[in-house]
Homo-oligomer: A and B are copies of this chain.
Amino acid sequence: MQSILCAGSIALDTTRTPFATAERVLGGAASYFSYSASFFSPVSLVSIVGNDFPKEHWDFLAKRTGLDLAGVQRSASEKTFFYDSSFGYDLGGRTTNETQLNSLATFNPVVPNSAAENSRFVYLATMPPQKQLAVLKSVKNCGFSAMDTIEFYINTEREALLKTIAAVDCLVLNDAEVRLLTKESNLLKAGKKIWDMGPKVVVIKKGEHGCLLFYHGAVYPFPAFPLEELKDPTGAGDSFAGGFIGYLAKHGVERDGLTPAQLRKAIAYGSVMGSFAVEDFSLKRLAAIDAEDIAERFEQYRSLVQF
């Protein structure tokens, strides 16, 4: 079992669906990733919260076994990153109502010494690409690194982003982001183009339609775990990444020891974790499951997919 370093945002989310609204609940890519990955391996979280961050959220993360908050800064002068968004009836496309970067705007990630020394897996959640690269470089013995980004950085920081992408082993993006990054509409061609940018492993997330794994000349399609009771799609992709990287870290599968079989099992665990995350608002569902639930859904997923 190897340790994971995750850098990225902790947020207060207000999420509105036609069925319910959750106000100022715990969110942020790094929260979802870390919590999800911590089912598999220890995670050091590098992030920032503001002076309004509720004690209950802090305690919720702090008490989580395997989750180390030593790298989470607490801004005395600024508020926590706040994100307000709405979903329509199909819980598909999200509309942003309000984004307040607050303390995240000037966040300078600092990796604690112990995490810099001991982490073998690194997940760079969405941040400015220069900051992602700085975090990656501060880890002494990284055995496998993965990153995410968003359209904003693809549009505004392309050069810096390409530099960061060239430095990681794995890029995890959604379909729209991949098309924007590669300027190629066919996802198969687009994913293969990313191989040329550096990452040997490419994962294209397609939300309710599953994902595509690109590795070593082949493309593996994964359907999403079929879910009838979807409540809030927020955090699905980051929880997915948490299960994916978490599984690799648990089994110590680093860049030099990758096999298609292990990567595919890791993706399947990612799909399982993503499917749990969307069953309730915030991290509520992830907080309610245990290793047995994960193992059970993994077997169910596997049995549904095989023919």
Contacts of A74 in B (CB 8 A): none
Least Cβ–Cβ distance between A163 and chain B, in angstroms: 28
| Distance between Cα atoms of A212 and B307 in the complex (Å) | 13
Kindly state whether residue A226 has any CB partner on chain B within 8 Å.
Answer: yes
Chain A, 58-97, CB within 8 A of any chain B CB: 89-90
B218 x A304 contact (CB < 8 A): yes
Kindly state whether residue A209 has any CB partner on chain B within 8 Å.
Answer: yes
Kindly state whether residue A189 has any CB partner on chain B within 8 Å.
Answer: yes
Across the interface, A304 reaches (CB within 8 A) one of B185, B220, B265, namely B220
Q: A221 with B224: in contact, given A185-B89, A209-B209, A305-B305 (CB under 8 Å)?
A: yes
Chain A, 181-222, CB within 8 A of any chain B CB: 185-186, 188-189, 192, 206, 209-210, 212, 218-222
* Majority DSSP secondary structure for residues of A touching B: mixed
Q: A221 with B305: in contact, given A185-B89, A186-B230 (CB under 8 Å)?
A: yes
B209 x A264 contact (CB < 8 A): no
A223 x B223 contact (CB < 8 A): yes
| Distance between Cα atoms of A228 and B265 in the complex (Å) | 24
Q: Please name the residue on chain B nearest to A222 by beta carbon.
A: B223
Oligomer: number of copies: 2
Contacts of A227 in B (CB 8 A): 188
| Distance between Cα atoms of A288 and B88 in the complex (Å) | 45
Q: How large is the interface on A (under 10, 10 to 19, 20 to 34, 35 or more residues)?
A: 20 to 34
Q: Please name the residue on chain B nearest to A304 by beta carbon.
A: B220
Least Cβ–Cβ distance between A229 and chain B, in angstroms: 9
Least Cβ–Cβ distance between A210 and chain B, in angstroms: 6
Kindly state whether residue A291 has any CB partner on chain B within 8 Å.
Answer: no
Most buried by B among A192, A261, A305: A305
Kindly state whether residue A57 has any CB partner on chain B within 8 Å.
Answer: no
B210 x A90 contact (CB < 8 A): no
Contacts of A261 in B (CB 8 A): 307
Q: A residues near B, CB below 8 A? A: 89-90, 185-186, 188-189, 192, 206, 209-210, 212, 218-228, 230, 261, 264-265, 267-268, 302, 304-307
The 7 closest A-B pairs by CB, nearest first: A221-B223, A264-B307, A209-B209, A188-B228, A90-B185, A219-B226, A223-B223
